[in-house]
Amino acid sequence: QKEVEQDPGPLSVPEGAIVSLNCTYSNSAFQYFMWYRQYSRKGPELLMYTYSSGNKEDGRFTAQVDKSSKYISLFIRDSQPSDSATYLCAMRTGAQKLVFGQGTRLTINP
Amino acid sequence: DAGVTQSPTHLIKTRGQQVTLRCSPKSGHDTVSWYQQALGQGPQFIFQYYEEEERQRGNFPDRFSGHQFPNYSSELNVNALLLGDSALYLCASSFGASRSADTQYFGPGTRLTVL
């Protein structure tokens, strides 16, 4: 079983829809949770960073962490075609080694 | 402010050859981590360098080795290349290996193809 599970999709939604992306994990020692966006043939770009449980909002993006359920989510409101990319969840303990999910490929249709 | 840079962008090698990839961290960062991303997969941690020493290592064979220079730039070396080494190699930089709160910023990657 992988430490971090993420549905690879692909996920296709119409422009303006609310998108929900999720990851589950098995290591209860994870404390830091991140979402990265990766465009085709590019490096991952940090979108959201959360420490421990709770919600964090940044513009159209909201990240949620539920440590009791070992479940994290990323919500994208008013989705745009430019949001089309692969979204990677990542997490770590105190050490800086990041453990990634497989990534979810998202397409926003105009 | 320059972000993380990597060279070369693309590389084609044959089985058995050796390859060296290079990374310059974001300004102000002193820690470099390397990741391997196979097609359709998330990045996998290879190792991390801080103060010119390997601080952490993932589940990769000794064919993968690295180096960090006094200016914090880093190299990743892979010997005896296998077809399975074909991947996007990502470099990430951060500040202070011991500081838990710092996040990692990724470069654009080097795409390695082994024929």
Q: Give the mean pLDDT of B41-69.
A: 95
Contact call for residues A47 and B112 (beta carbons, < 8 A): no
The answer to whether A6 faces chain B, any CB pair under 8 Å, is yes
Q: Is the pLDDT of residue B31 over 70?
A: yes
Contact call for residues B44 and B58 (beta carbons, < 8 A): yes
pLDDT band at B33 (very low <50, low <70, confident <90, very high): very high
User: Which chain B residues contact residue A48 at CB under 8 A?
Assistant: none
The answer to whether B101 faces chain A, any CB pair under 8 Å, is yes
Cα separation, B58 vs B14, whole angstroms: 25
Nearest to B49 by CA among B27, B73, B79: B73
| CA distances (Å), origin A93, targets A97, B7, B49 | 8, 30, 17
pLDDT band at A2 (very low <50, low <70, confident <90, very high): confident
**Contact call for A100 and B106, based on CB within 8 A:** no
Cα separation, B35 vs B88, whole angstroms: 8
**Contact call for B107 and A43, based on CB within 8 A:** yes
The answer to whether B4 faces chain A, any CB pair under 8 Å, is yes
pLDDT given at position B99 = 57
Q: Is the pLDDT of residue A34 over 60?
A: yes
Mutate to test the interface with A, among B45, B93, B103 (most CBs of A within 10 A): B103
Contact call for residues A63 and A73 (beta carbons, < 8 A): yes
- For the stretch B56-93, pLDDT in tens is 999 999 999 999 999 999 999 999 999 999 999 999 99
Q: Give the mean pLDDT of A20-47.
A: 94
Q: Give the mean pLDDT of B8-26.
A: 97
Q: Give the mean pLDDT of B99-109.
A: 81
User: Which chain B residues contact residue A63 at CB under 8 A?
Assistant: none
pLDDT given at position B97 = 64
Q: Is the pLDDT of residue B96 over 80?
A: no
pLDDT given at position B1 = 63
Is the Cα torsion angle A88, A98, B31, B21 positive or negative in sign?
negative
Q: Can you tell me whether residue B12 is helix, strand or coil? A: strand
User: Which chain A residues contact residue B109 at CB under 8 A?
Assistant: 42-43
Q: Is the pLDDT of residue B113 over 80?
A: yes
**Contact call for B109 and A42, based on CB within 8 A:** yes
Cα separation, A84 vs A104, whole angstroms: 10
**Contact call for A43 and B45, based on CB within 8 A:** no
Q: How many CB pairs under 8 A join A and B?
A: 66
